[in-house]
Amino acid sequence: MAMKLAILISGWLFIFTSFNAVMGASNCNYQKLKVKLEKVFDTANGKLKIATLQVTKKNQDPVIAFFQDNRQVFCRADYDTTPVDARATTAILFEDHAFIAFSTDGGSNQKTSFARFTKKGWQKSYGKGGGPKASVILKIDLKNGNVLAGTYLTARKKDGKTNSLSVEAIKKSGNNLLIEAKSWYSPLKTNGKPFNCAGKSPFDYSVEIDYDLNKAISATAKNCK
């Protein structure tokens, strides 16, 4: 939010405007980008915009920007810039940070991949294989766009390779996050082992995770045990 300070000097009234948020280390100007699939999340503290950049014909990268009083606080398009296809999908905002979900169709050992943020997460990597769209949750500081914590969210096939998991919503659940998702066979229990599910994919899946994204508190999946 903006704050105004008025100072009277030699009969002249000078008005200065300051902002609670500090300008972040932006690597982009959101207004000049040609974004796709934009979603906007409004709060009393500001406006978060998540979107996708078409980098090449086959590759997309996510872009996140936060605004206060129509002024860009930060714009970041460097969360994952690998050849892996990645997109921002949904988010939830708190007073000074946001939890943002991303889709990703593979893992990467490159220094610019999501994996650099998930080393302490509940699920630390994409896992085996590539192609299915798994998800990543990042906790992001709204002052500068820096990542505070992260975890992958994946499902697992019978052969041990990663399967698709799509985050539908992120909600607050006491002192934890409740992630609602669609999971293909098979969603994971809190111990990282797959559920035994009956019927066809996808399955309705809910997992409760702590705010540091390094521990799953509970997990349930329809038609799974």
Q: What is the per-residue pLDDT across 159-211, written as a single tens digit (0 to 9) for each?
A: 999 999 999 999 999 999 999 999 999 999 999 999 999 999 999 999 999 99
- Indicate the range of 13-17, 154-158, 214-218 predicted with least confidence: 13-17
Residue whose entry in the numeric block shows the structure tokens 């998930």: 118
Tell me 142's DSSP state: T
- What is the rounded average pLDDT for all residues in the chain? 91
Q: Give the span between the Cα atoms of 39 and 92, in whole angstroms.
A: 12
* Reported pTM: 0.88
pLDDT tens track for 100-112: 999 999 998 899 9
Q: Is 218 helix (H, G, I), strand (E, B) or coil?
A: strand
Higher pLDDT residue, 6 or 156? 156
> First and final CA of the chain: distance in angstroms?
47
Domain ranges of the chain: 22-221
Give the separation between CA 105 and CA 83, rounded to whole angstroms: 10
